[in-house]
Amino acid sequence: MRRRRHKYDLYIVIFLALFTLGYFIYNHTSSESRGVKNYSAALESYKKNNFEEAYQKFSKVPSGSTLKKPALFRQARCATNLDNKELAIKKYNRIVRAGSKSSIAPISEYNMAVLIYDMQDKRAGKHFKRIIKKFPTSDYAIASEYYLGLLELQNPPKNEKRLAKSKEKAANYFKNYIEKAPDGRFALQAIEEIRKLDTKLNNYNNLLIAKAYYANGEYEKAKEFLNKTTLAESWSDFAKNEYKLGNKEKGNYYTELGLKKHAFNTEPADIYEIIDNYIATFPQRKDGITTLVNMNLNSTGADYITYLNCNEVVASNVKEACFRTLYEKYPNGQFSADSLYNLFITKYLQRKYYDAQRLGFLHLKKFPNVKSSPAVTYFMGKIAYKLKHYDSAKNYYKKVLTNYPDTYYAYRANYNLYKEDGVLPFGEINEKPVVFPYKKSLDNNLVVKLAYLGDYDLVEELCKKDKFIQSWVAYEKGNYTISAVLARNAMEELETKPPFDDLRWRLVYPTHYYEIVDSVKGNNNPIILEAIIKEESHFNPSAKSLVGAIGLMQLMPETYNEVVKKHNLPANLKAETANITAGSLYYEGLKKVLGNKDLYAITAYNGGIGSITNWFSKLIYSDTDEFVEQIPYPETKNYVKKVLRSYWVYGNIY
């Protein structure tokens, strides 16, 4: 009897446990689905500026939902817009007190601290200091420095010594802010506060303020503070500022003086920028470079000047000697990898394959992952093939495809491995939508949920340092050019590229205007046209170049008008359609004249039909690669590689 009773009790315990588990699962699932439904409805009201209605709807998001914290955040924003700061503070405080490690915590505490500050409550300082301690690398920590400076100036002490210390402390907070964020939203205000304090500024402080003014486009004010610094430390800032003011002669004066006397203590990146500005003041680029070369400099920047000069040289033997001198003088310098590559490719073009191979081995060992690595790896494959080391050649080509999959040389390696596929392995693409770039994220996929609910502003705030997400937000807001550039820069920063089915690639290579391209392609490959649009204008239909080229395909007005007249294009076409149609017809015409070869048509599209026909007679080449590597115009050579790279990547993604 007792045994049966124990068995009965065990059944009850199991039943209750299963019931509790089932209820928990149901409640969690129900909370999540109700959370999504209520948050979505509330967001619609918020976007219509119906803040009272949105506040009530956000309150219906269940506490068990992962969207509860964003709902509280949105309620706080609603309360702020309704000028109810106390209520907003309460909502932010609920998020802060939860001790969340999610990205919504620092912005919540920062917003709460600002509201407390606006109410002239010194308790705001406690929160600003906590933000600096808990989230030291965040933008909110930097902005907190500014507010702590302002707080020091509230209710100043009457005691003179304490007042002096308080002013010094405030000034230090403001200086910290402009040092960390010279182009920040509070930078100019921070400078004004420093000026009002009338504290003594040393050379470094004056330079700091000058840099902040410069970063915000206040060049005359920057000059005022630069004049309070020593030229030895500030010459590069003097030069850059004068160029911005349009004072070319003064800019050149500071550049020449600085390069001769003070360049040793200057950041190379600043010197390279100044050298570029200096060269741009000459009618002919070559004249500016020659002037710099004749200075016979032996300090920071001398290697860059030599590098620029080597690239201007046309004669093969002189070019080789120039790059050899550069490499031997600066074997570990900024331009040593590219110098070695130029020596390598020169030997290859001279058919001195063993000499080239020796240099190639050295390059791959010394510079395993630099800009020129894909090219060296690819041509090492070609050398191996010419020396009848066929397996070795294949291994080099496969290495290019594996290690540098999104490069022009991956496109060429693919061709050499699978020649039966033809020169253009992709004929058309299947469009896929641009979607949120990650399938999963941090914060228990909170950002992903907010993204799919269309809360773009909050996603943008929570992910300020993720360029791919910033790109996606820009895309969703219709800023396609900004989106493409942000995504391109983000992808270039990745040391290892993701596979082509990764969603981030669609942001870098979106298919804007592809329907138009495909409908007017004629005898052209539509992916080539799409690649041209990407490289020419980054999908900006209003793009206009310095020389006057306009639209998506960057046609000169006279070229556009000639095509319109020749093909009798309708006058009622939309601007985008008209530009793409004319560009496609112009490209098709180039291709017909140039033996129906896309490579030559792409070259002529940038360099001009006259230039390419001239190169045909002057250049000595036996295949496509030798022709491309010898294109005399660096801009055109790079353009050809960029367009074919885009073509290749588009084909792989879509």
Cβ atoms of 319 and 347 closer than 8 Å: no
Res 76: pLDDT: 97
Secondary structure (H, E, C), 71-90? HHHHHHHHHHHCCCHHHHHH
**Mean of pLDDT values over 307-324:** 90
Q: In the structure encoding, which two tokens stand for residue 112, read together?
A: 């709460």
Cβ atoms of 545 and 533 closer than 8 Å: no
CA distance 408 to 379: 12
Cβ atoms of 525 and 545 closer than 8 Å: no
pLDDT tens-place string over residues 281-291? 999 999 999 99
Burial of 572 (0-12, 13-18, 19+ CB in 10 A): exposed
Q: Is the pLDDT of residue 444 over 70?
A: no
Q: Is the pLDDT of residue 7 over 70?
A: no
Number of neighbours of residue 284 by Cβ within 10 angstroms: 9
* DSSP tag of 407: S
pLDDT, greater one: 25 or 460 = 460
Q: Who's near 147: CB < 8 A, 6+ residues apart?
A: 113, 114, 117, 124, 128
Res 3: pLDDT: 55
pLDDT, greater one: 442 or 248 = 248
3-state secondary structure of 555: strand
Res 100: pLDDT: 66
Number of neighbours of residue 23 by Cβ within 10 angstroms: 10
- Work out the pLDDT band at 28, boundaries 50, 70, 90: very low
pLDDT tens-place string over residues 491-541? 999 989 999 999 999 999 999 999 999 999 999 999 999 999 999 999 999
CA distance 640 to 583: 17
Cβ atoms of 434 and 507 closer than 8 Å: yes
Res 315: pLDDT: 82
pLDDT tens-place string over residues 557-583? 999 999 999 999 888 888 999 999 999
3-state secondary structure of 544: strand
Q: Give one word for 422, left, alpha or beta, with left for phi > 0 and alpha for psi -120 to 50.
A: left
CB neighbour burial string for 215-239, b if at least 16 within 10 angstroms, e if fewer: bbebbebbbebbeebeeeebbbbbb
Q: Is the pLDDT of residue 547 over 70?
A: yes
Res 9: pLDDT: 59
pLDDT tens-place string over residues 90-123? 999 999 998 767 789 999 999 999 999 999 998 9
pLDDT tens-place string over residues 131-174? 999 999 999 999 999 999 999 998 888 888 899 999 999 999 99
Dihedral angle over CA of 319, 324, 325, 328, nearest 10: 160
Per-domain residue ranges of the chain: 442-508, 514-653
Q: Is the pLDDT of residue 416 over 60?
A: yes
**Mean of pLDDT values over 2-28:** 52
Q: Who's near 42: CB < 8 A, 6+ residues apart?
A: 54, 57, 58, 60, 61, 71, 74
Closest CA to 60 of 76, 84, 36: 36
Q: Average pLDDT over the chain, rounded to whole?
A: 92
* DSSP tag of 499: P
Cβ atoms of 365 and 380 closer than 8 Å: no
Q: Which fold has domain 514-653?
A: Lysozyme (1.10.530)
Secondary structure (H, E, C), 186-212? CHHHHHHHHHHHCCCCCHHHHHHHHHH
Res 22: pLDDT: 46
Closest CA to 108 of 87, 77, 86: 77
**DSSP E strand stretches across 531-646:** none
Res 514: pLDDT: 96
Q: What's the CA angle centered on 239, arms 238 and 245, to 5 degrees?
A: 90
- Maximum alpha-carbon separation in the chain: 110
Q: What percent of the chain has pLDDT over 70?
A: 94
- Work out the pLDDT band at 433, boundaries 50, 70, 90: very high
Burial of 198 (0-12, 13-18, 19+ CB in 10 A): exposed
Q: Is the pLDDT of residue 31 over 50?
A: yes
Closest CA to 620 of 607, 630, 611: 630
Q: What pTM value is reported for the model?
A: 0.86
Residue type, 641: K
CA distance 16 to 22: 10
Identify the residue whose tokens are 């395909």. 553
